Structure 1
């Protein structure tokens, strides 16, 4: 290949790279090595920060005239020493021309060109929208925590007074008091565990390493149905698998599905719980004898705050299924719903491992997603 042909090919690859990056809204850059001379920088850089390519070039060279870009320049200069093919991702803080802080995610890799030279190429991604979303999420969690905790504190105080002032109440009445107190304590504990601002901010990002036996999780669902006074039909294979994940989170996800079945099906009707090996995981099933999921609600049933047409007059906040799916997503599982002849059916798939924890199963999953079955 002649030098001219190689240059043309190189330029064509650069153009493709820039186009793909900028279509996604990112800032593309390309830096010659070992000179660290900036060969290309998207115009979006100037639009975001109010500075030109020369400012970034000086920052890469370590010149103090552009301290606002110092952290970014230092990071890119250090990335130039990576071997070809290595990829580095780091968040850096810079300041725009007006002195306001801007968070960037820098993604960089070294590539070998056809003429045997090397270049540092990558993307700069504005983190402003992501950080604003996280701030909104924390505010929402704080509001939700307060709105739930206030009435729960009222219920807790009232039931304690009833227990203290009713020493001669009949035993069935005292048992009902105790059930209310236990349920209230459990809800308060769930607020502390799952709806704290830090916890909500971690949804979709953090999964605590731990395991729970698939059989144990199924039995807890059956216990929940029996405590509610509902007939429970269990359809389960012999389960020897453990589930990779945080036990309390997985318990909550299944509890939400059972609660949903209890809420949206007639009193006294049967709820079916099932579990079976599926691919490299275990698929749990919760089926009720209610009216099923209305077709217009199917696409939105896992959305935050969404309440279906059949929820009118029923208690709830529209957060249960959203929270369940968020937990399942964190654990690498899938949650989907569909209707049977008798009612709604939810299927929850979770990755599994040997109960001993010694033999990890493959990470493949069944060919389904979080969308509803039609």
Structure 2
């Protein structure tokens, strides 16, 4: 079997549809047999190919005019079948150039996106369920606190000013948390994180400083350090602040009052950026590290401390919605580090 025949056999065995077009004549030179597996007859495949061929002259003209973006294109299309059904596909094509840099052929591939779309829909469904559960878990204790504070305020006519001031501070904090739930933890809002394109409008350094300043109300010894971060960052600002708030809250909650905590932002060695919360308290049990971020999981250190085991789960969900990750590790000297990694170009 010749190398050309082997190549054709390989392409025909693929689940993707491969094709090749001659730029000079606009003739379809090759179309792999995978179109049948996608539910298209040879005639239907040819009809869709003819539509692509009709767009080739305009693409070549733009390339000749110096538009380098025409070299490689990728787009999603909905292709109609003869039986009335449709299929969402991704079509990627590239101009094959000769030695003089002139377009010789157009090579491309058609990929079935059905599985990816189904997985995306399932992920969004899970996110909505998670957000509904999370909203309920937060609202229940907050409603109890809200009712108790209101009763205290109504019966505090004889209380001193300092006591009434504390009641007002509690009420303001409860109102803020309820507003955050209404604004942020709705199923639709949480499911949209990472799906909508965010503007480059958040300063990562300002984000870290804001989060650190808010946490210093509870722990003064919080140090913010920034190394080589970009001036602007594309992310969901509220989501990223929520992640950092959760990590700092845990660091404060599970360390002694005099333990130093560091909030660090820098370029990641593997590319992208990382935000880390580092404390110098006790280490994590090695057998628990892999389970951190599981819904409802609480380690041995959480015994006797109020909580639901949802904080790290929520933080990880938001990080992963950005295409990133949340990991934890013990430090060789002392303490531990929780790290948010985001795949953002620097």
Report if TM-score (shorter chain) is over 0.5. Answer: yes
Q: Shift of the alpha carbon at 1:141?
A: 2.2
Change over 3 Å in CA distance of 1:343–1:112 after alignment to 2: closer
Partner of 1:71 in structure 2? none
Q: Alpha-carbon deviations, 1:237-296, whole Å to 9, x = none?
A: 799974524543443232111101122224x23232244765799865533344322212
Partner of 1:57 in structure 2? 45
Q: Distance in 1 between matches of 2:175 and 2:88?
A: 43
Q: 1:92 aligns with which of 63, 73, 78?
A: 78
Structure 2: stretches of 5+ with no match in the other structure = 61-69
TM-score normalised by the chain length of structure 2 = 0.71
Change over 3 Å in CA distance of 1:182–1:239 after alignment to 2: farther
TM-score normalised by the chain length of structure 1 = 0.67
CA contact (8 A) 1:233 1:270 kept: no
Structure 1: stretches of 5+ with no match in the other structure = 63-73, 353-362, 365-374
Q: 1:234 aligns with which of 223, 226, 231?
A: 223
Q: 2:338 aligns with which of 337, 346, 350?
A: 346
CA contact (8 A) 2:153 2:167 kept: yes
1:59-78 equivalences under 5 Å are 59-60=47-48, 76=52
Q: Distance in 2 between matches of 1:15 and 1:111?
A: 23
Change over 3 Å in CA distance of 1:342–1:140 after alignment to 2: same
Are 2:273 and 1:273 equivalent residues in the alignment? no
SS in 1 for 2:32: strand
1:1-374 equivalences under 5 Å are 10-17=4-11, 22=14, 26-30=15-19, 32=21, 34-35=26-27, 39-42=31-34, 46=37, 51-54=39-42, 56-57=44-45, 59-60=47-48, 76=52, 82-83=59-60, 85-92=71-78, 94=80, 104-112=88-96, 116-126=104-114, 127-206=117-196, 207-212=198-203, 214=205, 217-218=208-209, 220-225=211-216, 227-228=217-218, 230-232=219-221, 234=223, 236=225, 242-245=231-234, 246-266=236-256, 268-275=257-264, 278=267, 285-303=276-294, 306-325=297-316, 327-328=318-319, 336-340=327-331, 341-347=333-339, 363-364=345-346
Change over 3 Å in CA distance of 1:88–1:333 after alignment to 2: closer
Q: Shift of the alpha carbon at 1:328?
A: 5.0
Q: Distance in 2 between matches of 1:134 and 1:276?
A: 29
Aligned residues: 322
Partner of 2:67 in structure 1? none
Q: Shift of the alpha carbon at 1:30?
A: 2.4
SS in 2 for 1:131: helix
Q: Distance in 2 between matches of 1:130 and 1:348?
A: 22
Root-mean-square deviation (CA, aligned residues, Å) is 4.2
Q: Distance in 1 between matches of 2:79 and 2:305?
A: 48
Q: Shift of the alpha carbon at 1:133?
A: 2.4
Q: Shift of the alpha carbon at 1:302?
A: 3.9
CA contact (8 A) 2:228 2:267 kept: no
